[in-house]
Chain A
Amino acid sequence: MSDELKLPLAGTPFGASPSFVDLVRSERPEAIPEALRRAAATELQVASATTVLGLRYADGTLLAGDRRATAGNLIADARMRKVFPADDYSAIAIAGAAGQAVELVKLFQLELEHYEKITGDRLSLEGKANRLAQMIRENFPMAMQGLVVVPLFGGFDERRGEGRLFYYDAIGGRWEEDDFQATGSGALPAKNSLKKRWRPGLAREEAIRVAVEALIDAADDDAATGGPDPARGIYPVLLTVGPQGAAEVPEDEVAAAVAAVQEERAR
């Protein structure tokens, strides 16, 4: 699929394509994951990223993820990052086939940056969410082979002045959430936890606490989700996107929220 507007005008294409994905596809097709299509992916033991969640709070949107990646019954990585800033005003969290997902994030980040530089304008949040849906849809042949990538996408809509949250399925279906959402193997316990704790208009500190608590609940019930491990300094990654842009929640703040939840549960 190419969204380049190809109107022949005096023999040349009309308008520069702002899409980085189209550019790589035409100039360096071997560099993008499509080249893997024919690989028998299902026979490979690939790392899988587990639970991520997103929620809306008073200032914007918060995305959070645990740190564990699994390959079968083994832990492939105890410190994996699953939550990334997509650009200055949006963030993406991934669950599913880890290598594939990280590559998707890298391409998506470049897609937004490339668009911004070529046109001199940031894409609207709606535009970013749609573009991501198309990119997941293009990944569908690999999803059929078991390399499923399901992200959450959240950002601050500068035109509406509010945070928005989107989630996707493996074939590129896109839904917008008003409150919260989780995906990955621990999504069910995480969602149950959020259902009890989330309420509209949470303050930033409360939102951090609610997200951390949901991840702890997910780790309690799902073997593939890693809980916080203060002894080794492994804490969930949290990103907030508000009117000031995307920012990672400092680790000491996450550690404090983790300590507060654990203390409450120890009693």
Chain B
Amino acid sequence: MSFMPYVAPEQLMKDRSEYAHKGIARGRSVIGLEYADGLLFLAENPSATLHKISEIYDRIAFAGVGKYSEFEELRIAGIRLADLRGYAYGREDVKARDLANAYSQALSSIFTQQLKPYEVEILVGEVDGEAGGTSIYHVLFDGSVTDEQGFVVIGGQAERLTEALRTRYEPGWDLATAVRTAIGVLASAPEPRDLPAEQIEAGVLDRTRPQRRKFRRLAPEEIERAAS
């Protein structure tokens, strides 16, 4: 039997939290925002194939920042949960809220029970039908969930970028404006720089799409066109 030195629970949680925070702040940011036709997720991502943004289900999308292996694991778990639920019940019974709750439970128990917390933050976004409603759930490494309104920035320079976006954001943007502004905000911190379109990954949940699956990845040319 091994003996662990006594550490006060407050200290333990604080250390873990700090560790996770540091890991998340090292990476680059993801922006999620509402635009006229739905939800846009946009990230700075030098890789064209290792995605941070992905489809989960018909009206649900996912974005993660932090450690790739960890949010990829969460992404796959989300797709499995959603597909199983949709098969066992009905496709319209798969809801972002349930997914956010499942993520929250999983991350919370990892945070308290495992030696190392996950260094991730994730977004679960959903558009509903004609009503025009959207929701964005923001789940942290310790399992806390918030329901975001309008826009949110996670990872990297999240605080500074949130401030930058707050001054510019307006509801009802068209897609090109939303993409252009989001790229502009990402390029403003840590120091102002140029962000070429091939460094940008973007996906939308577009409720005007006639298909059942509303998620669509934006092609590099489309991002290029919107940005210029």
Contact = CB atoms under 8 A, between A and B. Distances in A.
B83 A23 contact: yes
A118 B88 contact: no
Contacts of B79: 114, 117-118
Nearest to B62: A117
Interface in A105-142: 106, 110, 113-114, 117-118, 120
Interface in B70-101: 76, 79-80, 83-84, 87-88
A117 B56 contact: yes
A27 B79 CA distance: 14
Nearest to B72: A16
Given A16-B76, A117-B79, A31 B87 contact: yes
A24 interface: yes
A117 B88 contact: no
A27 B84 contact: yes
B87 to A, nearest CB: 6
A28 B88 contact: yes
Contacts of A27: 84
Contacts of B80: 23
Q: Which of B49, B54, B79, B88 has the most CB of A within 10 A?
A: B79
Contacts of A20: 83, 87
A194 to B, nearest CB: 32
A118 B78 CA distance: 10
Interface in B39-61: 49, 51, 54-56
A117 B84 contact: no
**Chain A residues touching B, majority SS:** helix
Given A20-B83, A23-B80, A28-B84, A120 B51 contact: yes
Contacts of A16: 76
B160 to A, nearest CB: 31
Interface string A1-40: 0000000000000001000100110011001000000000
A114 B83 contact: yes
Nearest to A20: B83
A11 B25 CA distance: 31
B87 A110 contact: yes
A24 B84 contact: yes
B76 A31 contact: no
Interface string A87-116: 000000000000000000010001001100
A23 B84 contact: yes
Nearest to B50: A120
B102 to A, nearest CB: 14
Nearest to A114: B83
B30 to A, nearest CB: 17
Contacts of A118: 76, 79
Given A16-B76, A23-B80, A117 B87 contact: no
A27 to B, nearest CB: 6
B82 to A, nearest CB: 9
A113 B56 CA distance: 10
Contacts of B213: 113
A6 to B, nearest CB: 16
A17 to B, nearest CB: 9
A241 B88 CA distance: 29
Contacts of A114: 79, 83
A206 to B, nearest CB: 28
Contacts of B83: 20, 23, 110, 113-114, 117
A131 to B, nearest CB: 16
Q: Which of A27, A110, A113 has the most CB of B within 10 A?
A: A113
Interface string A171-192: 0000000000000000000000
Given A16-B76, A120-B51, 6 more contacts: A31-B88, A113-B83, A113-B213, A114-B83, A117-B83, A118-B76
Q: Which 9 A-B pairs have the closest CB atoms?
A: A16-B76, A117-B79, A114-B83, A117-B55, A31-B88, A20-B83, A23-B80, A118-B76, A27-B84
Interface of B: 49, 51, 54-56, 76, 79-80, 83-84, 87-88, 213
27 contacts: A16-B76, A23-B80, A23-B83, A23-B84, A24-B84, A24-B87, A27-B84, A28-B84, A28-B87, A28-B88, A31-B87, A31-B88, A106-B87, A110-B83, A110-B87, A113-B83, A113-B213, A114-B79, A114-B83, A117-B55, A117-B56, A117-B79, A118-B76, A118-B79, A120-B49, A120-B51, A120-B54
